[in-house]
Structures are given as structure tokens and as C-alpha cells.
């Protein structure tokens, strides 16, 4: 059988990795897929550079639409990124009857419903293993390997940049801003790192996993998103003293009231495997009712790790290319007409436990007033840590503080977020609470 022909839109880091791995492992991939898979056409704005990368046998053009219009191309790989021209090209490729492989999490998290509907109507596949956690086959695991399960929750370190920054903050005791600069200098963080450090990239990925896990439409606009920019070295240190690590987690959870979908820094017990995922690595924990807890670990970005996921999609499509469209694995794991309208809960209705840090005047009765407000709100305290005033003095650099002050750290049991917001507002209003209260959510992941 003649090889399946692939057109590549964008040959940057992931595109060149895809081209190289596909060529290097072509014989084994062919034995797996049942026929050869060849990138025969590439579109890239830098034609000369692209031609140099792929050699003279591959046609290189600057116009992506020429790839889509080529009747010999069976699969289009979109590696342009973003919601703009990438969306237009994906929709045009679908309309032209091409299968699409994409690593574009932003596009799918925001426009997935429209894209999957168009693909189903046209009888083509849109595959996106590379969109979540790079080389880790988490989409395949959720959609197929765990298909027997009622998924209960997913918690993932799904952004390598932020995990690298948090690891460095913990290792070196440095604050966020210092580590970010160093990460940019070393090339671990982008020149504009906003999507990573503000949690947006992780929220795109969590949104996609949530849809697949629970059979709901992709709803990025309902995700709660909080990044790591406000974290300080002190909180990482206190968490450590209490037996926890702080990680940026993407969490999605089934509850009686609806689906939780949130990205925020999170205390997790230091003894959990995922708490020990360091540097730019990714990891996802999935809890299913039948299987129990499962953990997936690996590189969430990079040229060949991401290419590994892109090529897995190419092989899947090649195998199913000629199959009856109704027999293919549904894009979001559930049949399109069986998606549920279970609501994604607003953050105020989410139930979790909390780490609170209050810089307070070190006076009689301050702790009693703070804990009294929590008790009145019906919030149960799990642990309290009061830092030695001497340590605060030495950190501030002055031997004598104007007002004697101390840090009070409180861990709470579970409570609904709206109740915690109200309690924090009341505590903040106390004249003896001297700085904005730090609140970090906590998950036991048990």
C-alpha cells in the first residue's frame, strides 16, 4: 500500500522533531501502522530554512493553504499554535477532508467544540495527544486505557516551566522573580512567560483532560486559573516544615454538585510521588473507581518528546483511516451525542482545604481572635505553626522591628471556598493582621 501522505504546517522545534523521528524510525513505524507514513509537504514562512531541514525530496512552500489544497495529502499536522490563523487553517483542512493532528492546547480548549463537531460532520479525525503533557500518552490513557472507569479526579503537573521555577525556588530558597529571570536566561522560560506563569497553559490542558474524563464539552472559560507569581520562598519553606510541597496543579474532579476545573498553586503531601516531580518534568495522577490511582510521568515539552505524541496520532489515524467513521474512538472519549451538561462549578463552590499565612502583631490574644473567626465560620483547623519572632527579625534585616510581629500559619480541613473567602476578609480586617493574607489551597491526593 502506498504510504500515507502528511503535510506539516510549521517546522519549528516540534515540527523538526516530528520529521526526524518519523524518518529515523520509519521502518518500525511502518510495521506498526501497517503502511508507511511520510511527510511529503511542509509549509513554513522561512522556506529556505525549512528546505534545509527536510532535504530536496520534500516540497516546501510558504503558503499553508497550498498544503491543505493538495489532494495527495491525507493528514495535516498543525504546529503553528495560537487561536488565530491556526484555527482558520484547521477548519479549512477539515473542510477539505483532511485528518488533523495538532499540539495546540489553546485552540482545542477554547474552540474544541466547534472543531470536533466540524470533524465529525466531515468524517475526519482530529488527534491531539501532543496537546497535553507533551510526550506522556495521557490522552490515550484517559480515552482508551481507562475507559472502564468512572474517573473521580485528575491532578497534574502539566506545565514544565512553572515546575522548574518552583523546584528552583525550593532548592535555592529564592523568590519567584529571581528564579524567573534565571529561567529565562537559561531558556527554560519564554521571553514572554505569561501563559506559563499565570497558569493559562496548564488550564488549557486541564480543560481538555476534564472533557475527556467526564464526557463534558471543553469549557476553558469556566476554568479557575491562578498562577505562581505571588508565591514566596517563605511559603515554600513553611509548607516544607509542615510536610508539604507546593506545586502548580491542574485539577479536575467529579463532585455531587458538578465538575471542579481549576489551576492554582497547591500544597500536596511531600510523600506523594507527584510531589517529587522536579524540574521541567510533567506528571498526571488519575483516580478511577476501578483502577484506583494511576500516575503518568515524563517530558511535557521538547522536540522529540512532543514528536513522539504527534507520531502516535499519525499512526492511530493511519490505522483507522479506512475504518467506518462511526467505529473510530470519539474525539472526547464519549460519543458526541452522549456528552453531559454537568456544570463546571464556580470557584466559590469548590471544596478544598487551605494553607493560610498571616503576618500579625505579636500580641496577646491575636491568635485567639484569628482562630475564633475561623471557628465562627465553621472552618475546622488542622494545624497551626507560629514562626519564631527572631527569624522574622533577621529576615527583615533589622534587629528591631517597629511592631513585634510574627507569621502564623494555619492549615484547615476542607471547607467550601466561598466560606473561606468570607473568613479571610474578616481576618484581614483585624488591625493586628499587618499584611495581605496568603492563601494557598491544599490537596491530600489520597
Give the residues lining the site for ligand HSE (CB under 6 A). 159-161, 196, 201, 300-301
Confirm if 121 and 310 have CB atoms less than 8 A apart: no
- Residue closer to ligand HSE, measured from CB, 161 or 318: 161
CB of 317 to ligand HSE, least distance (A): 22
Confirm if 269 and 444 have CB atoms less than 8 A apart: yes
CB of 301 to ligand HSE, least distance (A): 4
Distance, in Å, from the CA atom of 249 to the CA atom of 443, rounded to the nearest integer, reads 10
Query: For this structure, is 205 an active site residue?
Result: yes
Instruction: Name the nearest CA neighbour of 61 among 77, 42, 82.
Output: 42
Complete DSSP assignment for 6-62: EEEE--SHHHHHHHHHHHHTHHHHHHHHSS-EEEEEEE-S-HHHHHHHH-TTSEEES
Query: Could you give phi then psi for residue 69, rounded to 5 degrees?
Result: -80, -10
- Residue closer to ligand HSE, measured from CB, 207 or 406: 207
- Residue closer to ligand HSE, measured from CB, 7 or 135: 135
- Residue closer to ligand HSE, measured from CB, 160 or 298: 160
CB of 34 to ligand HSE, least distance (A): 31
Catalytic residue of the set 140, 205, 222, 253: 205
Cα angle: 208, vertex 211, 212; to 5 degrees: 90
- Residue closer to ligand HSE, measured from CB, 18 or 70: 18
Element spanning 207, H or E: helix 200-214
- Residue closer to ligand HSE, measured from CB, 196 or 362: 196
Instruction: Name the nearest CA neighbour of 291 among 76, 141, 133, 69.
Output: 141
CB of 40 to ligand HSE, least distance (A): 27
CB of 8 to ligand HSE, least distance (A): 18
Residue at grid coordinates 497534574: 156
Confirm if 100 and 126 have CB atoms less than 8 A apart: yes
CB of 102 to ligand HSE, least distance (A): 12
Which residue stretches of 280-416 are H helix? 303-320, 366-376, 389-396
Confirm if 196 and 190 have CB atoms less than 8 A apart: yes
Which are the catalytic amino acids? 205
Amino acid at each position: 500500500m502506498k504510504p500515507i501522505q502528511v503535510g506539516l504546517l510549521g517546522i519549528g522545534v516540534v515540527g523538526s522533531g516530528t520529521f526526524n523521528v518519523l524518518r529515523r524510525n520509519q521502518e518500525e513505524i511502518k510495521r506498526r501502522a501497517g503502511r508507511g507514513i511520510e511527510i511529503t509537504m511542509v509549509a513554513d514562512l522561512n522556506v529556505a530554512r525549512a528546505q534545509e531541514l527536510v532535504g530536496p525530496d520534500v516540497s516546501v512552500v510558504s503558503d499553508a493553504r497550498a498544503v491543505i489544497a493538495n489532494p495527495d495529502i491525507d493528514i495535516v499536522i498543525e504546529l503553528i499554535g495560537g487561536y488565530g490563523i491556526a484555527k482558520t487553517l484547521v477548519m479549512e483542512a477539515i473542510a477539505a477532508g483532511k485528518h488533523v493532528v495538532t499540539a495546540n492546547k489553546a485552540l482545542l480548549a477554547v474552540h474544541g467544540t466547534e472543531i470536533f463537531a466540524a470533524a465529525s460532520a466531515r468524517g475526519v479525525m482530529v488527534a491531539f495527544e501532543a496537546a497535553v503533557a507533551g510526550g506522556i500518552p495521557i490522552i490515550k490513557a484517559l480515552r482508551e486505557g481507562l475507559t472502564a472507569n468512572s474517573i473521580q479526579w485528575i491532578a497534574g503537573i502539566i506545565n514544565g516551566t512553572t515546575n522548574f521555577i518552583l523546584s528552583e525556588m525550593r532548592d535555592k530558597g529564592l523568590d519567584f522573580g529571581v528564579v524567573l529571570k534565571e529561567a529565562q536566561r537559561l531558556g527554560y522560560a519564554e521571553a514572554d512567560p505569561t501563559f506559563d506563569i499565570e497558569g493559562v497553559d496548564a488550564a488549557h490542558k486541564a480543560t481538555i483532560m476534564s472533557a475527556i474524563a467526564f464526557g463534558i464539552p471543553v469549557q476553558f472559560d469556566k476554568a479557575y486559573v491562578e498562577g505562581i507569581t505571588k508565591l514566596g520562598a517563605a511559603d515554600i519553606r513553611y509548607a516544607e516544615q509542615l510536610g508539604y510541597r507546593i506545586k502548580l496543579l491542574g485539577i479536575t474532579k467529579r463532585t455531587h454538585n458538578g465538575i471542579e476545573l481549576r489551576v492554582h498553586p497547591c500544597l500536596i503531601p511531600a510523600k506523594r510521588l507527584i510531589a517529587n516531580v522536579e524540574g521541567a518534568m510533567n506528571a498526571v495522577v488519575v483516580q478511577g473507581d476501578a483502577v484506583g490511582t494511576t500516575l503518568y510521568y515524563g517530558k511535557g515539552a521538547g522536540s522529540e518528546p512532543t514528536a513522539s505524541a504527534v507520531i502516535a496520532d499519525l499512526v492511530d489515524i493511519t490505522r483507522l483511516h479506512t475504518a467506518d467513521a462511526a467505529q473510530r474512538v470519539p474525539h472526547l472519549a464519549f460519543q458526541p451525542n452522549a456528552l453531559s451538561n454537568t456544570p463546571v462549578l464556580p470557584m466559590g463552590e469548590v471544596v478544598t482545604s487551605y494553607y493560610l499565612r498571616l503576618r500579625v502583631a505579636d500580641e496577646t490574644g491575636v491568635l485567639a481572635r484569628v482562630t475564633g473567626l475561623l471557628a465562627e465560620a465553621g472552618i475546622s483547623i488542622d494545624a497551626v505553626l507560629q514562626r519564631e519572632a527572631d527569624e522574622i527579625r533577621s529576615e527583615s534585616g533589622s534587629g528591631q522591628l517597629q511592631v513585634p510581629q510574627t507569621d502564623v500559619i494555619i492549615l484547615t480541613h476542607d471547607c467550601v471556598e466561598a466560606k473561606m473567602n468570607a473568613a479571610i476578609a474578616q481576618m484581614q480586617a483585624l488591625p493586628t493582621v499587618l499584611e495581605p493574607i496568603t492563601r494557598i489551597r491544599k490537596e491530600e491526593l489520597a
